[in-house]
Amino acid sequence: MARPPARTELHATVAARLRTDGQRVTASRTTLVDVLARARRPLTIPEIQARASGLATSSAYRNLLVLESVGVVHRIVTNGDHARYELAEDLTEHHHHLICSQCGAVEDVPASARLEQSVHKAADEIERHTGFRTQHHRVDLVGLCKRCA
């Protein structure tokens, strides 16, 4: 369970959030954060287990639930069989997803400033009209990845 030096700060933040919520800092949890930080896209449980050798399935699910409740991890559901997990956006960067309709691959893309502005403007208008108070948004582009095109 090696911890690359460059990620020290991330792990410190995660540890702080865990302790604040009365949760323990365990090797499994540190590894999970590490795995997600290294990936440039949301991972499924099988993908996570392939990168975190020996982690029991139930522990993976339980720890990801804990990490989510502490605001470190975000769970997303696309259309594949498995849910996907990624680090919370305040630990990484705001981004959107490219989803391949053929092979199911998911990739991160940074959000353009113009698009963000349009989304916020739309959300403001919607709140005025409907009373819906937007907390965050999700933009997915569904299409064919380079390999499937």
Partner DNA sequence: CTTTCTGCAAACGATTTGCAGCAGC
Partner DNA sequence: GCTGCTGCAAATCGTTTGCAGAAAG
| CA end-to-end span of the chain | 38
CA-based nearest residue to 134, from 122, 144, 142: 122
Number of residues that bind DNA (CB under 7 A): 25
Distances (CA, A) of 68 to 25, 86, 88, 109: 14, 10, 8, 22
CA dihedral (41, 46, 51, 55) positive or negative? positive
Q: Which of residues 25-44 bind DNA (CB under 7 A)?
A: 25-29, 44
- Provide, rounded to whole angstroms, the least separation between the CB of residue 50 and a second copy: 23
Q: Which of residues 66-95 bind a second copy (CB under 8 A)?
A: 75, 77-79
- Provide, rounded to whole angstroms, the least separation between the CB of residue 42 and DNA: 12
Indicate whether 128 belongs to the interface with a second copy (CB under 8 A): no
Options 30-38, 41-49, 53-61, 121-129: segment touching a second copy (CB under 8 A) = 121-129
Cβ atoms of 98 and 141 within 8 Å: the answer is yes
> Which CB atom, from 8 or from 101, has the smaller least distance to a second copy?
101
Q: Which one of 20, 26, 69, 101 is in contact with a second copy (CB under 8 A)? A: 101
Indicate whether 107 belongs to the interface with a second copy (CB under 8 A): yes
List the 84-87 sheet strands across, edge first: 43-44, 84-87, 73-76
Indicate whether 49 belongs to the interface with DNA (CB under 7 A): no
